[in-house]
Amino acid sequence: MATKIIIDTDPGQDDAVALLLALASPDELELLGIVTVAGNVGLAQNSRNALKIVELSGKINTKVYAGCDRPIRRVPVTAEHVHGQSGLDGPNLPDAKITLQDMHGVDFIVQTLQNAAPGEITICALGPLTNIAMALVRAPEIAPKIKQIVLMGGGYFEGGNITPTAEFNIYVDPEAADVVVHCGAPIVMIPLDVTHQALATKERLANFADLGNKTGTAIHQMLTFSERFDLEKYQWQGAPLHDPCVIAYLLDPDMFTGRLINVEIEVDSELTRGMTVADFWGVTDRNPNVTYMRHIDADAYYAMLTDRLVRLP
Ligand code: BDR
Ligand code: CA
């Protein structure tokens, strides 16, 4: 039976590839809905981007809900410097004909989980955790309905990417991340420590262009745009492809290794705001609350991406 998932996202070129990977995998993943959140760019633009990606995939019955337009307590921080003004610069995708659902994204999360059986729904979090935290605060009884929350965020060994100690998704809404990691549901964190091993080298990028479908061309154009910032910053042979790791984890968890540890979120200090303090070596007696991923088989990841994405238009 397919795993029932909700994807919470701020697309974002790498979010877009994650959405496409999920949409290309209906046998394994039943996508109940996509919820957008303020993150890479503002909520309205992230929502437009999500609709465009759904149309690109041809799965136009997929429902998209707009969630929160700002973090719980902080001033919004965006990343146009990475993703471009549209958040999805690169390809020239037409404006979508499909439209957003009327329901607020947080209401959709709450209702879907309230109507679910215990442990039935998996949440895939690809952006700041605002919507998910809001849902958990409003209706704490939904936590046991969650099979797991698999999130891209944080970093420990690799440090941060928006400040020296914080990864973007956690930095933008640290209070939300704090709620999520303590909600009691199983949490799988895929941090920069993993995604920095999953580099879109020239050869891997070319494989997308060679897929021979519209999806492959669009992905090639997206990642060619978004990589320029990272290539200059890191001077690596390719840019990390973060968010699709979450979907890859659901499709093949054996591609990843990690361990159950305690992770706390820094919410007080301005200097280290949003740091994921990962007790990887077990030097405290704090309770383990997060399965913290550490390694990925990058070749298997890119092979999965091309194998699956060729199925789309
Ligand atoms: C995360 O931040 C965003 O810019 C990406 O989409 C990804 O979710 C990486 O730090
Ligand atoms: Ca994202």
User: How far apart (Å, rounded) are the C-alpha atoms in residues 147 and 141?
Assistant: 14
Of 168, 197, 249, which is best to mutate to test ligand 1, by the most ligand atoms within 8 angstroms of its C-beta?
168
Tell me the three state secondary structure of residue 223. helix
Contact 54, 96 (CB under 8 A): yes
The dihedrals phi and psi of 124, each to the nearest 5 degrees, come to -105, 120
Residue 228 has a pLDDT of: 87
Confidence of residue 12 (pLDDT cuts 50, 70, 90): very high
- Give the mean model confidence (pLDDT) for residues 114-129: 98
* DSSP state letter for 28: T
Confidence of residue 310 (pLDDT cuts 50, 70, 90): very high
Closest residue to atom 4 of ligand 1, CA basis: 40
Q: Which domains does the chain have, with CATH numbers?
A: 3-309 (3.90.245.10)
Counting residues of the chain whose pLDDT is more than 90, the rounded percentage is 98
User: What are the beta bridge partners of residue 33?
Assistant: 6
Spatial CA neighbour of 139 closest among 112, 120, 119: 112
To the query of whether residue 182 is one of the catalytic residues in this protein, the response is no
**What are 27's two structure tokens?**
């046998």
**What are 59's two structure tokens?**
């799965």
CB of 173 shorter than 6 A to ligand 1? no
What are the tens digits of pLDDT across the range 189-243? 999 999 999 999 999 999 999 999 999 999 999 999 999 888 988 999 999 999 9
Please name the amino acid found at residue 220.
Answer: H
Whole-Å CA distances, 45 to 41, 69, 135, 170: 7, 11, 22, 20
What are the tens digits of pLDDT across the range 137-191? 999 999 999 999 999 999 999 999 999 999 999 999 999 999 999 999 999 999 9
